[in-house]
Amino acid sequence: MPRRLIALLALTLSVLLAACDVGGTRAPLPEEALMAERLFDEGDFVQAAAAFEDAARRDRSHRDALTLRAAESWREEGRIEDARPLLSKLRLERLSSEEALRADLLRAELALLDRDSQRALDTLSIPSSTVPAGLRERFHFLRAQAFAAFSQPFAAAGERAALQPYLPARDQAENAAAISALLTQLPARQLSAAAAELDHEDPLYDFAADTLRALGLAIPGRRSGLHVRSGQAANIAVLLPLSGPLAAPGSAVRDGLLSAYYADTDNRPDLRFYDSGDSDVSAVTAYQTAVAEGAEQVIGPLGREQVNALFSLGEIRIPTLALNRATVPTPEHSLSFALSPEDEGRAAATRIRNLGMARVLLVASADEASKRSAQALSLALGQEGGQIIQRIDLPSNSPDYGALIRTAYQHIGWREILTQTPSQSPAATPAAQPRQVDVDVIYLAVGGPEARLVIPQLRAEGALGLPMIATSQIYAAGANPRLDRDLDGVEFTELPWLLDTAPADLPRSAELRGLDTAKGASARLFAFGMDAYRLLQALPQLMSEGTVSGATGQLALDGYGSVLRQPGWARYVGARPRALREDELTPMGSTTAPLR
């Protein structure tokens, strides 16, 4: 039990004992007990335990309460086994309900030491709502340990989530990480099913939602299945920010949507655009106006908080494709579609495991997209049996990463590599073998400028010949190939449209070079807009065949209203990115052969 809680109990015990009425007579607290409390407050737990036991022998009216305090003193000293015989002396009928619970907390801790998780859970089986606030932290923590020992990670995570509000700020991050680690022990489908049973007010709900989102999965609501009416609509409303600070991304999505619209020659619907602005209120107002004016389907809004506000209204009455992931469940008759970094991290984890690799060195920068793709990679790898062996976080104030790389490599360890020449037999290897850092692959969640700096340093320090996989941040369309020579061999996720491998019925990127929103930093949002239109038009195919090829990747639906995206793949060859065909997604060769 944290010292601050024991101290709190110590401060209140004198009042409680002085006020108790034993046998109808108010008994004063003995001087020995007051001295024991002072010793406890001073941190002298051994002397406090002895003093409490001495006071218990002298004062029969307070004997059980004082014996309990002696047991708590031994626990605080780190000698909980010395509390065991004292607990056996307690008479429950002589303890208050709170004192009895404190005794049970000690018994549960001893049960865990005895590796008897069931006894610990049985001891702490009362409803948590009846536990005093000052004891809930320890109550939930011990139950979490018991469930974890029982190989019930979801229940253990639930207990940890319940204790989160009772932790000081400095401990909450560590507890949140423990919750995430517990949740990722579950297979993704099992986690999604278990999360679907949570009430939205459950303390675990947000943690489960964050973990599912990082895995690229939907935040579940209680849905028996997807209920989106599919088919052609005569009128589609498009809610995008066309004014204010979000007008630039909104315009890129709009132009992409319109390019797909004009390329569609089969019964095009009428489109009507509504400015969703940059606030929750303006987005909801735009939606309500569109519905009132006869929209049969809706695309948008674009901002996450705007999507949250729309989905929180309750029932969505007409098919709606929101253009971001929400932090609330997706209502019926609606879908959510996002161009998220998590898609790339998840795809990279699958690629790594399909290549038979497991040990990954992660190199990441500090921007939000890097953090999100890196987290998704880590979680998805854990689901598929892989592991982040070491992580290098690149600083923004220096291009010299050598010291960081050397420290990481030393922590990981080395393996010898075979460099056999035609004139050598396998046994005739040089005395000093070249070394390679002992990982299977390096994952780069960094931008192009950082990649050009860090990749040569990674290779020079001991990663020559190792496969490298990166996010789409590494690729800047129109970059000078002269600067990208060091990127040769690096594979990365990318939108098929930017690699000219999108479906033939979509406009090619080369055809739209005169449009500012179709190139540079806006190009990905432009492709996203094309798929937004394509998704609603292809709903019958998507729901019957399971997948649709789009500008941003292979698109599919899960059971909770999210559109899942599998991006395309490319590899730098001759300092230029080249799209990988399906038959090229095979293990990447190395110039050296590792000796395990």
Tens-place pLDDT, residues 51-73: 999 999 988 888 999 999 999 99
Sheet holding 568-573, edge to edge: 387-393, 359-364, 441-445, 468-470, 491-494, 568-573, 576-579
Please indicate, yes or no, whether residues 28 and 167 belong to a single structural domain of this protein: yes
The answer to whether residues 199 and 62 belong to one domain is: yes
DSSP single-letter state for residue 324: S
* Structural domain contains residue 310: no
**Cβ atoms within 10 Å, residue 505:** 12
Residues 346 and 489 in one domain: yes
Whether residue 317 lies inside any domain: the answer is: no
Instruction: Report d(CA 387, CA 360) in Å as an integer.
Output: 6
Q: Is 323 helix (H, G, I), strand (E, B) or coil?
A: coil
The Cα 482–Cα 484 span in angstroms is 6
Assess if residue 33 is contained within a domain: yes
The residue to which tokens 């939000």 are assigned = 368
If one counts the domains in the chain, the total is 2
Query: What pLDDT, on a 0 to 100 scale, did the predictor assign at position 29?
Result: 67
The Cα–Cα gap between 343 and 563 comes to 11
**Which strands form 554-557's sheet, in the order they lie side by side?**
547-549, 554-557, 563-566
pLDDT value of position 344 = 93
Write the CATH number for 81. 1.25.40.10
What pLDDT sits at residue 231? 53
> What is the DSSP pairing of strand 387-393 with strand 359-364?
parallel
Task: Judge whether 376 lies within some domain.
Answer: yes
d(CA 549, CA 342): 19
Residue 9 lies in a domain: yes
| Cis ω for the linkage preceding 85 (within 30 of 0) | no
Domain limit, last residue, from 197, 214, 231: 214
Domain that holds residue 373: 342-420+431-497+570-594
- Which residues of the chain have a pLDDT value below 50? 1-26, 222-228, 230, 421-433, 588-596
Q: What are phi and psi of 69, to 5 degrees?
A: -65, -35
For residue 594, the model assigns a pLDDT of 30
What is the per-residue pLDDT for 211?
Answer: 85
Q: What is the dihedral of CA 42, 47, 52, 55, to 10 degrees?
A: -110
Last residue of a domain, one of 179, 198, 214: 214
| CA–CA distances in Å: residue 566 to residues 290, 350, 369, 506 | 32, 10, 17, 18
351 and 487 housed in the same domain: yes
Q: Tokens 């590899």, residue?
A: 571
Per-residue pLDDT, 14: 42
Domain identity same for 185 and 44: yes
Per-residue confidence (pLDDT) for residue 564, from 0 to 100: 87
pLDDT recorded at residue 325: 87
Q: What are phi and psi of 222, to 5 degrees?
A: -90, 85
Domain assignment present for 510: no
Using CA of residue 68, residue 69, residue 74, residue 76, what is the dihedral sign? positive
Task: Examine the fold and report which residue of 214, 242, 259 is the final residue of a domain before the chain moves on.
Answer: 214
Spatial neighbors of 573 by CB under 8 A, at least 6 apart, are: 488
Q: List the strands of the sheet with 297-299, edge to edge.
A: 270-275, 235-240, 297-299, 320-322, 334-336
| Residues 348 and 206 occupy one common structural domain | no
Q: In this structure, is residue 169 part of a structural domain?
A: yes
Instruction: Tell me if 229 is assigned to some domain.
Output: no
Q: Of 20, 552, 526, 592, whose CA–CA distance to 255 is shortest? A: 526
Q: What is the pLDDT of residue 307?
A: 94
What pLDDT was estimated at residue 149?
93
Q: For residue 266, report the phi and psi dihedrals to the nearest 5 degrees.
A: -110, 95
pLDDT value of position 424: 40
